[in-house]
Amino acid sequence: MGDVLKLILKRLGYGLLTLLVVSILIFFAVELLPGDTAQAILGQAATPETVAALRTQLGLDQPAPIRYLSWLSHAVVGDFGVSAVSGTPVVQVIGGRFINTLFLASYAAVIAVPLAIILGVIVALLRNSVFDRVANVLTLTSISSPEFFLGYILILFFAVNIPAFPAIASLSGSLSFPELLHRTFLPALTLVLVVTAHMMRMTRAAIINLLASPYIEMARLKGVPPWKVIVKHALPNAWAPIINVVALNLAYLITGVVLVEVVFVYPGIGQALVDAVSKRDFPVVQAASLIFAATFILLNLTADVGAILTNPRLRHPK
């Protein structure tokens, strides 16, 4: 158990180091953008005195390394400063939107994860059949199609030709839970189509790889039914790669929703990031980017820890 704890702590240390490097890249990538931030916010009609006052207010008159250390020290305690455009604390700007993004990602994950695992098991059982070939073609098509393209196709069919769902996923506080599910179904379905295909193919590959193992052959020779071979023998040993794939796709659901939120005008953190970039609201851009990076790293760490806990060779090293 001590060796497993050391491995987990090492992964956490690597994750924190990665997040530190990413924070440096985020901050200084914004710094390298051309133009004067204060001038861009105020417009060309602003006087030099007004621009200078805004630069002082935003701390732009200080060296970049000092501003980075100040930003990082405040970000560690959850203080991302104030919006350069509205003057509202950044936490208030993106807090509710991040919750909306988490809801959309959770909505898609609840559908995609069990569906992908079940379909992966079925196509593994029916390997080289017509169903398997059709599933492979459909999943490759889904993986190869950009999210915004799938989103517009779904809008065309289910919002224009068959007006069953709204094309714009606008939210309000008065929506009931069934109405919320109905209004956000198309953006959730767009995410489901992408991640289900990837998870299903990886589940199929993991199980087919295990079906060639000697203990699986022994179970078949003993007359164990095919479904029992999958459920009782192959699937438990395939959990490690499956957990990795699920965690990585959940990370994608959180960080890859930007295009989907823009297509469906969904009020999530991805839409807030796009709006902030267009307005050069850099405190919001930096905060949203850091939150995306932290979420992605956290879910990758979850995948690593899950792989360690489900792998007996790592739990009990010789």
Q: What is the pLDDT along the chain (318 residues), one digit of tens a residue?
A: 566 778 778 888 888 899 999 999 988 887 777 666 676 666 666 777 777 777 777 777 777 788 888 888 888 888 888 887 777 888 888 888 888 888 888 899 899 888 988 888 888 878 888 888 888 888 888 888 888 888 889 999 998 888 888 888 877 767 788 888 888 999 999 988 888 888 888 888 877 777 777 877 787 788 878 777 777 777 777 777 777 777 777 877 877 778 888 889 888 888 888 888 888 788 888 888 898 888 888 888 887 777 777 666 556 655
Evaluate whether residue 112 is within a structural domain.
yes
Evaluate whether residue 53 is within a structural domain.
no
By C-alpha distance, which of 160, 199, 149, 159 is closest to 182?
159
> Which pLDDT value is given to residue 315?
60
Evaluate whether residue 149 is within a structural domain.
yes
Beta-carbon contacts of residue 30 (< 8 Å; ≥ 6 apart): 282, 285, 286
Coil, helix or strand for 203? Answer: helix
Tell me if the pTM is above 0.85. no
Residue type, 234: A
> Which pLDDT value is given to residue 17?
92
Residue 34 — φ and ψ, nearest 5°?
-70, 155
- Report how many domains make up the chain: 1
Cα–Cα distance between 223 and 20 in angstroms, integer? Answer: 55
Evaluate whether residue 269 is within a structural domain.
yes
Evaluate whether residue 196 is within a structural domain.
yes
Cα–Cα distance between 307 and 240 in angstroms, integer? Answer: 5
| Size of the chain in residues | 318
What is the span of the domain harbouring residue 182?
A: 95-280
> Which pLDDT value is given to residue 312?
61
Evaluate whether residue 30 is within a structural domain.
no
**Residue 206, both tokens:** 């993991």
What does each C-alpha distance from 292 to 25, 68, 118, 188 come to in angstroms?
A: 13, 18, 29, 18
CATH assignment of the domain containing 219: 1.10.3720.10
Cα–Cα distance between 311 and 55 in angstroms, integer? Answer: 54
